[in-house]
Amino acid sequence: MATALPDDALTRAQAGEPAAFSLLYQALGPAVLGYFAGRGSEDPEALTQDVFLTVFSKLEAVTGGLPGLRTFTFSVAHARHVDEVRRRTRTPVLVGYEADGDTRSTESAEAVVLDRLDAGLAGGLLAQVNADQREVLLLRIVAELPIDQVAEILGRSAGSVKQLQRRGLLKLKELVQPNESEAL
């Protein structure tokens, strides 16, 4: 859950008050970081910092009060994630092969399960839903944005966002509670 913001925090930050910037970051920073971590970003902390540098430099243009700030912040976060994905696809990772340094081995089933739990079961489950559903679930649940703001960020209709959320949640439920008839 996000830290509650005083109603005048945005106005104070727009006036240049340093404490207000801190309040905005403390309230929105964890959700932005969670959004990037849930999307599988290579460096979620750096992207979060980049988002807030952009948001703070454009605070005077933010309208709609605190909900408008939240929507603007996650619009910037979404754009940064798209930029990161594009950068990764344009810049292939080239690694030379050295036979002496190849220490690959097959892990036991127990080690695989423990690694998956350490990596976060939620992230593993989210990876199994399609990208659009995952995006909607992260913005709706992690970022706690209302449907209309998610629709605005993704450039979709509210009905489309509702359907993606519904289907994504059903898929997650299916993954967590598989059909008992299949086990027989």
DSSP for 41-106 reads: -S-HHHHHHHHHHHHHHTGGG--SHHHHHHHHHHHHHHHHHHHHHHHHHHS-------GGG----P
- pLDDT attached to residue 118: 46
- pLDDT attached to residue 173: 80
CATH number, domain of 71, equals 1.10.1740.10
* Residue that terminates a domain, selected from 90, 119, 154: 90
Is position 161 within any domain? Answer: yes
Is position 71 within any domain? Answer: yes
Is position 1 within any domain? Answer: no
Residues 116 and 80 in one domain: no
**Of residues 108 and 56, more confidently modeled:** 56
Is position 99 within any domain? Answer: no
Residues 159 and 123 in one domain: yes
Is position 96 within any domain? Answer: no
Is position 117 within any domain? Answer: yes
* Residue that terminates a domain, selected from 37, 57, 90: 90
Q: For residues 11 and 52, is the Cβ–Cβ distance under 8 A?
A: no
**Of residues 99 and 183, more confidently modeled:** 99
Q: What is the mean predicted confidence (pLDDT) over 73-84?
A: 95
Whether the pLDDT of residue 117 is over 60: the answer is no
Joined together, the tokens standing for residue 99 give: 């036979």
pTM (two decimals): 0.60
Q: Of the given ranges (53-67, 120-134, 141-155, 160-174), which has the lowest mean pLDDT?
A: 120-134
Is position 100 within any domain? Answer: no
Task: State which residues form the domain around 20.
Answer: 9-90
What's the mean pLDDT when you consider all of the chain?
Answer: 83
Residues 15 and 79 in one domain: yes
CATH number, domain of 135, equals 1.10.10.10
Residues 78 and 112 in one domain: no
Whether the pLDDT of residue 175 is over 80: the answer is no
The total of structural domains in the chain comes to 2
- pLDDT attached to residue 3: 65
- pLDDT attached to residue 110: 44
Confidence tier at 114 by pLDDT (50, 70, 90): very low
Residue 52 neighbours by CB distance under 10 Å? 19
* Residue that terminates a domain, selected from 58, 90, 122: 90
Residues 113 and 171 in one domain: yes
Is position 171 within any domain? Answer: yes
- pLDDT attached to residue 122: 62
